[in-house]
Chains A and B, each alone.
Chain A
Amino acid sequence: MKAMLKLSEYQLRDVIRSKWFTFYTLFFVLVSYGSVTFSGNASKVIVILLNVYIMFIPLASIVFSNIYFYHNRGNIVFLSTQPIHRDTIFSGIFIGTLIPTLLGANLGTLLPLLFSDLLAGDSLWNLMLLLLLGTALSTIFISLGFMLAVLFKDRLKGLVISVFLWLFMSALYDLFILMFIRYFQDYPIENGVLVLTLVNPIDLARISMLSRLDISALMGYTGVIFNEFFSGSFGLYLTLICLLLWAFIPFLISIFIFRKQDLT
């Protein structure tokens, strides 16, 4: 545990000093500032930020973590020649990559909002939920990025699969759901669609937030069911459990493989 924290501390220093971190934080500052300046309405700001969060955070997290792991492979191999367990090395690098990514997104978003009137009442809770969902998406997609880098030694293959996975979850999966709805439209499929939604973390984050904003009618005829389900405490707990599983399962798979893998 001690070695893992030490390793993550130095890893964190490396990422925070990188140009990527500066760019990532500035991006969120600009988006947050722009949304506050040009919308002037708390719900609109949240929706704008949500759209950026669910598209950009998964893409940036999976691509950055994937590239970072490949780029650091020489360092990881060297660390594996030291008297520390491989689980410690993997966890240390994971935490050291995750924390700056969370810092960049959350600080970048919050800084311009500190000077607005959004940080009060219901808007504050909505903003907190948005940041929580952003944190969950960052963790999930860094976990997936690392898993793909551990699974595929060829960095080009790993990167292409990472981008494809993001594309699938953020766009193609919705097409798949639409096809499912169209094909089974004569049947009571609301619960089926609900289950399909729980399987995709991006959809899950989007719908959890939109339900909270009470604009689920925009989501089509299943919107009412989604609203009932996700705005209740059972729906919230189930959402959190699903997001946690999405973060932990790829992480545990990565550790399991990395522990046994030949490092060349």
Chain B
Amino acid sequence: MIRITDLNKSIGRLSILSGMNIHFRKGRVTFIIGPNGSGKSTLIKIILGLMKPDTGEIMVGDAILNGDSEYRQKIGYMPQRIQFPENLTVREIFELIKKLRNSDGEPEKNLISDFSLDKEVSKRLSYLSGGTRQKVNAVISMMFNPEILILDEPATGLDPVNSRIFKNKILAAKNEGKTVIITSHLFNDIEELADDLVALIEGKVAYQGSYEGIFTVSGSGDLETALATLMTGVPV
């Protein structure tokens, strides 16, 4: 669904991503993992068109990214933390996003109910807790039933009940054949949801393949040790 070829990105003299070739497949949940500063956020931002690569090609479906914004119609994005205008109500935020996407009806209705946001929709954002904001965030990412879901640390701030609901929705999206890309540091989430892994170390792809495959490549029995082995190059 998303194919990245020979991607390079530098900021000033610092190379952030180097010679990256990645394929995110349809109907799979792919986790992008790696230590801080490994280039996970930059990679996501380039896919979303927030940053421009120095060289390389990104294909979303059949379309090559060329600065056009239309391909984002296929994407639902959930950032780690979001700042909507504080004086708008939750309902107004949903209305705004729907209008910007030329969407009619109430695609958010079931999601509002699933995430128990019914009482919050008429409240201004400035009155909401971090966890409730994250639920609003989750609804926005999923309300248009996008072909591609990009989730940046999605479980941050969600309570166990809503985290469970969200994970079930991710699995349902995968079963519907959608492409799900997640960055996370939570090994429990990875173990539970991941079909594929992309491990980034210092801006390079250290591992790309199935979740199970990383253990074979690293010779480690658990994910944390496997990642540490890939980072250091020697068994930990």
A→B interface (CB under 8 Å): 3, 6-7, 10-11, 13-15, 17-18, 71-75, 77-86, 260, 262-264
Contacts and interface: CB of A to CB of B under 8 A. Distances in A.
A13 B75 contact: no
Contact of A14 (B49, B70, B75, B85): B85
Interface centre among A10, A17, A79, A262 (most CB of B within 10 A): A10
A74 B97 CA distance: 15
5 contacts: A6-B99, A71-B83, A77-B79, A78-B83, A83-B71
A73 B85 CA distance: 10
Contact of A13 (B11, B69, B71, B92): B92
B51 A264 contact: yes
Contacts of A262: 11, 45, 50-52
Interface in B97-111: 97, 99-101
A264 B101 CA distance: 23
B122 interface: no
Nearest to A16: B87
| Size class of the contact patch on chain B | 20 to 34
Contacts of A15: 87
Looking at chain A's contact residues, the main secondary structure is: helix
A68 to B, nearest CB: 10
Contact of A78 (B73, B79, B95): B79
Contacts of B87: 13-15, 17-18
Interface string B50-88: 111000000000000000011111010101011111111
A74 B81 contact: yes
Contacts of B124: 17
B217 interface: no
Contacts of A263: 45, 50-51
Contact of B92 (A10, A74, A81, A83): A10
B49 A80 contact: yes
Contacts of B79: 74, 77-78, 81
B158 interface: no
Contacts of B51: 262-264
Given A14-B88, A80-B50, A83-B73, A3 B100 contact: yes
A79 to B, nearest CB: 7
A13 B86 CA distance: 10
